[in-house]
Homo-oligomer: A and B are copies of this chain.
Amino acid sequence: MARAGKDKLKEAPEKTTRIQEINRRLILDAALDIFSTYGFRGTTIDQIAERAGMSKPNLLYYFPRKQNIYVTLLEETLAEWLAPLAEIDAEGDPIEQLRKYITLKINMSETHPEASRLFANEVLHGAPAISDFLTKHLKPLVDEKAAVIRRWVGEGKLAPVDPYHLIFMIWATTQHYADFDVQVRAIMGSQVGRPGFKEQTAQAVLSIILNGIRPRG
């Protein structure tokens, strides 16, 4: 694009003012709360604006379309959500690496349940806004880690398991505690809020999965 040009020649000037930074953050934080609770269609711009403490036209000054807020939010959070998977170290001890991964995921489910619900809702409805991301970024990453796990199996360091199904099981189980929180609470009652609950959950999940894939024989 622009070659040369004077100082002032701003073409796609991405300069963000202090106020912009503050308000975009305010909006996105509010939007995460609302979208994750009510879904895309169930959320109104007015709700987000109120939660963010500004008028609707003002909000629309920063994000001209409702879709923009939603997509920005998904993009912002997806990377963070996937990060733990990328950290699985092919050179580390298999059981230790998977223990670390599962623990991280359970922690995230507890500290960022809204993010989990935002994705769950999006995927449940066919992932209209992120199907590209799924095939272009998620799949390659999963393929890579699946290859690592398959190698571990080949080396006899893990029982023979299909790596993809193992990854799905870890996702499903850990995110269940965020996505189905109401159900978990309806069944386990007051235990859920209590201090040691997360540790107890981690212990149970780790115990089953790790023993399920530990080499036998």
Q: Chain A interface (Cβ within 8 Å of chain B)?
A: 37-42, 117, 120-121, 123-127, 131, 134-135, 138-139, 142-143, 159-162, 164-166, 168-169, 171-173, 175-177, 179-180, 182-184, 186-188, 200-201, 203-205, 207-214, 216
| Nearest-Cβ distance from residue A110 to partner chain B, whole angstroms | 14
Total copies of the chain: 2
Asked if B123 and A182 make an inter-chain contact with CB atoms under 8 angstroms apart, the answer reads: yes
Query: Which residues of the other chain, B, contact A203 by a CB distance below 8 angstroms?
Result: 162
Which B residues touch A210, using CB under 8 A? 212
Main secondary structure of the interface of A (DSSP, over half): helix
Residues on B with C-beta less than 8 A from A169 are 169, 173, 176, 204-205, 208
Complex Cα spacing A130 to B168, Å? 27
Residues of B within 8 A of A183 (CB): 123, 127, 134, 138
Min CB–CB distance A118 → chain B (angstroms): 10
* Complex alpha-carbon distance, A109 and B179, angstroms: 18
Which residues of the other chain, B, contact A180 by a CB distance below 8 angstroms? Answer: 120, 123-124, 168, 171-172
Which residues of B have CB within 8 Å of A211? 159, 211-214, 216
